[in-house]
Structure formats: structure tokens, C-alpha cells
Structure 1
Amino acid sequence: MVYLVQSKDDFDQQVTDAGDKLIVIDFYANWCGPCKIISPKLEELAQQYADRAVVLKVNVDENEEITIRYNVTSLPTFVFIKTGTVVDFFVGCNSEKLAKTMEKYVGSECDCGQGTDDDEPDSQTPLEGANSDNNVCAINSDFIESEQPDAPDDVIDTMEQEGVMEN
């Protein structure tokens, strides 16, 4: 089941309650076409992995503080967290990539960012020029510097290079 986050406190509680399960955060907006397109696949995957993953939907228009925390600037953005650490992310409406990324991290043998180069976040979807990509919606907001999520240095570097996080 996909859980719709109501507030920052609600989000923090859901993350705490997830324990050792994979947390998938879907940053979306009601006006975002690609977000609507991928939503049924996300629901399907949430049901498929219900015993090993928690799927949270964060409406960027209603939860700006969480959106800023992860420096989300394009939609949909998916952030994957395992045991309190951001292990992967991607931007765009790519249901195959969503399924493969969830499958990669729901297993009990997940290194969560401490593996081979094959475990590096996929950087196929650059944020530059996101407005011209039919699979991505850009958020028109001025974001401020904020607390960064706890992530391995290589994940943070990739997120900064792609504009998902500011350094």
C-alpha cells in the first residue's frame, strides 16, 4: 500500500516505523502528468513488496519542508532509503527503472551503497533541461539550503551533480 504523507511529523514517524524495510519516497504533485502516469505502477510495486518496503508519497505543494530537505526540483523524484541512509534516487517517469531499483534494494543482502560500481545510482536522467523532457516536471520554487539526508558520499556527489541536492 502506498502511504500519503500528511506532514513533516507524519513523514518522520513513517520513516521511524519502517524499521529495516526499504523506504521509497515518491515526490509528486497533482498537476504533474508523469507523476500520474507512474502512480499505478508504484501502487502495484508497493503491494508486491509490502512485506519488505514502505512506499511514501510526498506532495511537494503540501510538504515543502520535506521537499526542501531532499532538494527535489523535478518530478517525479524517487528516493530510496535503507536503514536510515539514502541508497539511491532517480528522476522521471520510468516504471521499469522503478521496478528494478526496488527489486535491487528489497533483498536482505543489500549493501546499501557499499558495493561495486554496479551499485552506483544510475545517472541517466539529468536534471538540466528537465522542462523539455516529457517524463519530468520541473518545480518552480526557490529552494533554500537545508539539512542534507544521511547518504554515502558517492550518492551525495551524484545527487549534487544532477541537481537533486545542493552542496
Structure 2
Amino acid sequence: MDSGSTCEVIYEHCFKKLNPTIKATRVNTKTLLVGFSGKRSWSIGEVPLEITIGEHPLSRTETLNFVIVKSDSPHNMLLGRTAMQKMGIVVSTIHGAIKFHTKKGVGTVLSVGEAGEETKKARRFLTISKERIPICDDTKEKIIVNNKYPKQMVTIGKQLPKHFKKEL
């Protein structure tokens, strides 16, 4: 997930591994891409791909248009803002999770990293079934922000660190 990206990206090394039938749907277009550092490069085409997030029954499938990029990257693809909006994805980087709406309820995908990792590596995603997601009813609490107005309360997450609660 890359909320800073305006398009979906598939890196050339991943595109080359796709089924020949899928690769044949490639459209030769040139798109100017500007990276975080301001470096400019051109795409080498675009390809529509059907993407599924989650596991049945809490899954969602959409066809997204990916820009093919010739660049070294530890990633295979990036889903940008367009995908996030089209698929209704909400990202929580602090929790390493995404949530999204499905016909059967809200799906959740958690990011799982390797313990003791010193360098950032691509993470693999696991879908957690609805039965294994803890009930979140007791994860919020109401606090008074201004003692002059005790009836005006703010709802915050219980997991918020104490020093943040104190600052509020």
C-alpha cells in the first residue's frame, strides 16, 4: 500500500512472471512517473489485473490498471490511492493492518514481519478470519479534555499511550 502514489505499479520483474495470456493484455503507453526524490522516469506500459484482497467470504475483487515500471525494487507491486479508494481500503500503518468492505462484512488483512529483522523487507500478508479478530467494543474510552466542560467528552482508543492521553 502506498497512499502517496496516484497509480498502481507493477515492477517489470514481476510483470515478466505473469501468465502469457495476461501479459498479452499489456498496452504500450508512456506515463511520466515522479518518485519521492523527484526523480522522473517513464513507464513501459500498462496492464489491467484482477486483484483480490482477503479470503472468502471476507474478500474483495476488483480489476485495476497497473503501470509497468522498469526499476529495481524489493516489491512486486504497489497499490496506490486509486486502488485504496476503489476497494474501500483503510490503512493503519501503526497496526500493520488494512480493513475493507465486502458483501459479507468488513475484511481485515494483517501484515506479518519477521522477528529481529534489521532491514526492511517486503512483508507478506495474511488474512485473519472474522472469528479470530478480537471484539473491539472495549477498545475505546471517553475522556474529558477540558474540566470546565465535563459533559463534552472525546472518545479515544484505550491502547493510546499514557503520555498522549496526558497531553490531550
Which bin holds the TM-score, normalised by the shorter protein? under 0.3
Structure with a larger share of its residues in strand:
2
Structure with a larger share of its residues in helix:
1
Higher relative contact order (CA 8 A, sep 6+): 1
Q: Which has the larger Rg?
A: 2
TM-score w.r.t. length of structure 2: 0.22
